[in-house]
Amino acid sequence: MTHQRCVSGGIEFGDSHGHLCSERADEWAAVFAANMAANRVRKATLSGVGLFTSDQDELVLRAYERHPDVFIPFLCQVDPDDAASKRYIEKELERGPWGGVGEIFLNTSGLVYAQPLPLPDGTMRPFRYPVPKDGANCEVFHFLFDKCAELGKLVWIHCERAMPLWQMLKKHPRTPVIWAHADYVTPPEDVRHLLNAWPKLTVEFGPGLRIALGELGAEEKMPSVVRRMAEWKEIVRDYPDRLTIGTDIIKWQSMANYAKVYETYRGLLKDLPPESARKIAYANFRRILKVA
């Protein structure tokens, strides 16, 4: 696959929701990096997909070692219901190049991802979200929140209902957190409520906006997202220091549309004051991830 060149120039981005596809993972990383360069995306977080295969973190590290100037690796092989995960988290965060832990899953609207994902051999398998049985009382999650606060690392978390995340943040107000694709199903008033309450919280958006614009699969279009776009425009206007933007691309057919994604994002930011657009596109990402 050749990289997808953007037709719009100008503003630089950081992608705060980058994933590694298990199918042809090394090729994926190379194409991802080339697409980033072609579309003025300076850096991307890079995570596997939960516990999909047993080598997710290994593949992410290999991609980082081959492309250290663009990817920020995140630790994702965390079983929230296995206390042994605490030893793994501690060992890896203290010795590895990880930017933090994520994408982890605190709450989802369904237990299985809507579409099967590709395995290394090209076959497909359903992905079960590794959500903790104990929800916001999960010992492993509380441990990793504390460890990330101690080491100055980020927690990158998927949580579709605001209350479980509120409970985690109340117990760990010092932990820097990226709330993944909060524009997807969470009511905007709940996003605003958490932003007002917890200064260490950064909200990532983008995938929900693309659903509203009809750029993701028809099976993922949600009328509730479309109705909330006016409210999200107000959030973007009111919190330019607290937002980042991400792609959440996990399949080859979606990677083929990479340039279109950033064309859309540039269009969404063009009506903002230039300083606000610059912060949301890359400056906030650079600050919270401590990169150049």
**Tens of pLDDT, residues 246-260:** 999 998 988 988 999
Mean pLDDT for 62-72 is: 98
Whether residue 6 lies inside any domain: the answer is no
Please choose, from the candidates 43, 10, 44, the residue with its C-alpha nearest in 3D space to the C-alpha of residue 267: 10
Whether residue 4 lies inside any domain: the answer is no
How many distinct structural domains can be found in the chain? 1
CATH number at residue 165: 3.20.20.140
How many C-beta neighbours within 10 Å does residue 219 have?
7
Q: What rounded mean pLDDT belongs to the chain?
A: 91
**Tens of pLDDT, residues 132-145:** 999 999 999 999 99
* Residue 7 pLDDT exceeds 50: no
- The least confident of 50-64, 228-242, 270-284 is 228-242
Owning domain of residue 122 = 13-289
Q: Is the entire prediction scored with pTM above 0.85?
A: yes
Whether residue 187 lies inside any domain: the answer is yes
What confidence tier does 215 reach under pLDDT thresholds 50, 70, 90?
low
What pLDDT is stored for residue 292 in this prediction?
Answer: 83
Whether residue 7 lies inside any domain: the answer is no
CA torsion, ordered 56, 62, 67, 68, to nearest 10 deg: 90
How far CA 286 is from CA of 48, 99, 216, 258, 292, in Å, comes to 21, 12, 27, 21, 6
Whether residue 184 lies inside any domain: the answer is yes
